[in-house]
Structure formats: structure tokens, C-alpha cells
């Protein structure tokens, strides 16, 4: 179950709310009774390991220029026409 906390209370007790979220509780931040945001624990990411992609071979097509349409789409200029 989520607890709903107004913004003023959240500003006053942020450290306590962070500790509650860290312990697994989900807290809904509300403004004038309207839910605005969710404070929740981060999923554990686990330890990072170096070299996970070692030995991965990338073909020469990886280094070829993108077609103009695709490049425009990545740059936000593509209209889809």
C-alpha cells in the first residue's frame, strides 16, 4: 500500500521519506490532494562486471553511414513522408 504525502510535509520530512522508500515503501507525493509523483526504492542493479561484451564482433556495416531518412529521424527532422 502506498502512503500519500503532501508537498509541504515531504519537504519537511524528506530524509525520513527517503529512508522509508529505501526500505521498500512507495510514497505518493501530492499537491493539494492531487497525486504528482511517486517516491519508490530503486531496483537493485547488482555488481557491475567489466568485459561483459568481450569478444563481440561488429560487422563492417556497423560503420557505414546511415541513410538520409534514418539520420533525419534520429535528428528529429524526419516527417515520415
Half-sphere exposure of 18 (CA within 13 A, CB side): 5
Give pLDDT tens digits for 39-57. 999 887 778 788 888 888 9
Strand 34-39 and strand 3-6: pairing?
unpaired
List of domains in the chain:
3-39 (3.40.1620)
Q: How far is CA 25 from CA 2, 13, 36, 41, in A?
A: 7, 15, 17, 7
Average pLDDT over every residue of 23-27: 92
Write down the pLDDT at residue 81.
55
Strand 27-31 and strand 34-39: pairing?
antiparallel
The alpha-carbon radius of gyration of the chain (Å, integer) is: 23
pTM confidence score: 0.52
* Residue 25 near residue 18 (C-beta atoms within 8 A): no
Amino acid at each position: 500500500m502506498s502512503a500519500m504525502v503532501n508537498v509541504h510535509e515531504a519537504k519537511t520530512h524528506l530524509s525520513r521519506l527517503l529512508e522509508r522508500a529505501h526500505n521498500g515503501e512507495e510514497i505518493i507525493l501530492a499537491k493539494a490532494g492531487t497525486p504528482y509523483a511517486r517516491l519508490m526504492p530503486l531496483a537493485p542493479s547488482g555488481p557491475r562486471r567489466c568485459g561483459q561484451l568481450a569478444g563481440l564482433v561488429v560487422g563492417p556495416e556497423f560503420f557505414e553511414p546511415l541513410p538520409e531518412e534514418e539520420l533525419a529521424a534520429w535528428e528529429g527532422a524526419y516527417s515520415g513522408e
